[in-house]
Amino acid sequence: MTDTKNATAAQVELDPSDLFAKAYAPVEAQALRQAGMFPYFHPLGGQLGNEVNVNGESMLMVCSNDYLGLSQDRRVQQAGLPALEEFGTSCTGSRFLNGTLALHEGLERDLATFLNKESALTFSTGFLGSLGVLSALVGRRDIMYFDRENHASLYDGARLSWGDLRKFRHADLDHLEFLLKRDADKAVGKLIVTDGVFSMSGEVADLPGIVELARRYGARVLVDDAHSTGVLGPNGRGTPEHYGVEDEVDLIIGTFSKAFASVGGFMAGPAHVVDCVKTTARPFIFTAALPPAQVASTHKSLEILSTEPELRERLWKRVAMFREGLAGLGFDTMNSEGPIVPVFIGEFDDAFSFWKQIWDRGIFALPAAPPAVPPGECLIRMAVNASHTREEIERVLAAFADVGRSTGMIS
């Protein structure tokens, strides 16, 4: 094996017995960096409203998941200060040990009430929520049925469980029924897992169809509502409320890093099921608790989105303006129904070239490429929030019109 301390990059790359060799091999990220076309990890120097500072230049942010604009709300910002002063910066331990605060349990009670579920549990990140719930509940020989475009955290949760994974074609309920029917005679637990709003396309899952199949074949339903809790439904309770099937969805998982303008994750469902996860899920038991200031800020966001429906009303007006503007220009916004508004590009090189030209016009929007999307289906992923002004949306539309015509994507 090559001595990496003294070896050149070329020597390491050529040594197949060296674990680090793959890190030195030519990859797309390196090529993009060398060409000045790498779109990710740009450090922000500050933010005022939707304007962010990047390398001393002001850019208009249009890909944040801050759907209700609450990260810039002074009430949410100030809510964390008393908790910071009382409890410090961290619990420095897991919820299982010294990390359970009255703050955590207060948020969990109010979140469960908001979502019309018996109980709720918070996690340090949304990703950990997916890992914890699936690994704790899905046992050996149990079966999970996944929409192919489910979030990566769900797939990692499935890998951490002992269950079998069946993937159905995206939004294809006939294929889902085929898989359920094939397993109908098996006396094992069955769980249908779907995103509520899919994170790349903004498409909303057909929950009524899914719950009908679940009833017919004796399966439970878990919805990852990360991109719709606080946003969809008359009261912001997400995809189940949007469709009127709240009582038929067994478990909801989600994150506080979108509409709640914070960080952390959650699950909500029957009290015994939540307690099972709380006492057995390794990703929960062995992770430091959500910091006190974040819990308090999240709780304030929950209070605001529960009592100020005008935020959602303003959001949906801006979403409609943006989506209709892009479609009117001739862009394909796919099947987006949520605040995520993608523009379909297609090939990798075309998407990154389009992104760079948008970027150079002061628009902070990013491309989505494999593995986030299938090969040949690259897109520019954007998201609207309630604080975007009409003038800001018009600015983005003007930039897309300019780049679209110059690249020949639109006429």
Give the residue numbers marked as catalytic.
199, 227, 258
Tell me how far apart the alpha carbons of residues 345 and 96 are, in angstroms, rounded to a whole number. Answer: 47
* Coil, helix or strand at residue 81: helix
- Compute φ and ψ for 368, nearest 5 degrees: -110, 125
Closest to 374 measured CA to CA, from 164, 193, 170:
170
Tell me how far apart the alpha carbons of residues 347 and 59 are, in angstroms, rounded to a whole number. Answer: 26
- What are 103's two structure tokens? 């703050």
Q: What is the DSSP string of 260-324?
A: T-S--EEEEE-HHHHHHHHHH-HHHHTSBPPPHHHHHHHHHHHHHHHH-THHHHHHHHHHHHHHH
Give the list of residues 6+ apart from residue 321 with CB closer than 8 angstroms, or none: 390, 393
- Which amino acid, 267? M
- Which amino acid, 178? F
Answer for the pair 227, 338: CB distance below 8 angstroms, yes or no. Answer: yes
